[in-house]
Amino acid sequence: MPFLNEILKHRSLSIVGLEKNTGKTVCLNYILGRLHQMGADCAVTSIGVDGEQTDAVYGSAKPEITLYERMLFITSEKHYRQRQLVSEITAVDPRRTSLGRLVTARVVCGGKVLLSGAASTGMLRSQIETFRSQGVPLTIVDGALSRLSLASPTVTEAMVLATGAAVSPNIGQLVSKTRFVCRLIELDEVDGSLQRQLSPVGQGLWAVDSDGEVHDLELKSVFLLGKKECNIFKYGTTLFAAGAVSDHLLKYLASQKTIADTRLIVRDFTKLFITPEVYANYIRRGGRLQVLQRSNLVAVCLNPTSPQGYNLNSETACAALSEALQLPVYDVRKVNRS
């Protein structure tokens, strides 16, 4: 797969899914196996628990995570004791999770492992930075469930997106849902000077005037719009929402007379909790949406099988997704079988 070379250009990678059971672990195992064949060193961690043998919801069999010699990994004390590989401990984090302290170890003889990593993205960023300072060329983060927050460019430099029949057994709906998320991932990034000014802002709604000056609108939450008297356009029609953005804000902006001149900036695509219909209306009326940092999507992978027993035609689904996304789409299960 050509995306392996693209992955190696980055220091950190997240693997995230649009839904549970979209093949994140299969994708991770494929990447780890290829990196091992290429002689590339890496570290692996997770947020939440990943690599379990049985799906907790459907009771179906799940692929375990396979690690190879020299690879570093982080997991909880509980799951470190259950590992099916030989490893040496290199560090123990004194901070505790619900499953005990986090153990960092290097694989001596490869095998299976259950990963249960950081309890927060802040802890995860700290782990990635530690590996980076130790000269580890690549850290891979496998996300539990469908936590898109791991794909934030403030956490990892690049991402692989997993989609498939678990999102929808209908190819048309699958394409539509995946295309919408990819559209958000690929939103245009603001220029460097504005990025530097807005990055330190922690919360609330802010405005940028025609001279590029940033102003606090003293609105701590966008959910207060309509409930509190506030002229959000007194400095101009460029706005920055420092926190999460839902349909509420886009609907409000789309209803204003200034919508054709409005530019809304968000931190990154993981802060957007919006529906396709509301987004489409906002764009159709002339609104613009940009991000401080754009995520680097290196690959889209497909799992044509859902836990409910639906099976998509892999070639048809990959072709339909690839045409809609204008990106290659890979069924790594098919590659692993060949």
Q: Decide if 13 contacts 153 (C-beta within 8 A).
A: no
If pLDDT is split at 50, 70 and 90, which confidence band does 336 have?
Answer: low
Give strand pairing partners of 273: 246
| 40/1 Cα distance (integer angstroms) | 15
Q: What is the pLDDT of residue 122?
A: 85
Q: Region 2-30: what's the mean pLDDT? A: 90
What's the confidence (pLDDT) of residue 64?
85
Query: Among residues 120, 145, 116, which one has the least CA distance to residue 57?
Result: 145
Question: End-to-end CA distance of the chain, in Å?
Answer: 13
Sort strands 49-50 and 158-164 into parallel, antiparallel or unpaired.
Answer: unpaired
pLDDT digit string, tens, across residues 98-124: 888 999 999 999 999 999 888 788 888
pLDDT at 140 over 70: yes
Residues 6+ apart with CB under 8 A from 130: none
Which residues of the chain are in CATH 3.40.50 domains?
Answer: 3-186+296-337
CA–CA separation, 51 vs 303, rounded Å? 17
Q: Residue 316 is encoded by which pair of tokens?
A: 């048809």
What does pTM read for this prediction? 0.87
Provide φ and ψ at 10, rounded to 5°.
-120, 160
pLDDT in tens, 263-285: 999 999 999 999 999 999 999 99
Residue in 338, 318, 315 with CA at minimum distance from that of residue 328: 318
> Is residue 250 within 8 Å of residue 287, measured between CB atoms?
yes
Domain 3-186+296-337 has CATH 3.40.50: yes
Mean model confidence pLDDT for the chain: 88
Average pLDDT over residues 185-192: 93
DSSP-derived 3-state class of residue 37 = helix
Model pLDDT for residues 153-180, shown as the tens digit of each residue: 878 999 999 999 999 999 999 999 999 9
Q: Indicate the pLDDT class of residue 338, thresholds 50, 70 and 90.
A: very low
Question: Is pLDDT of 228 > 80?
Answer: no
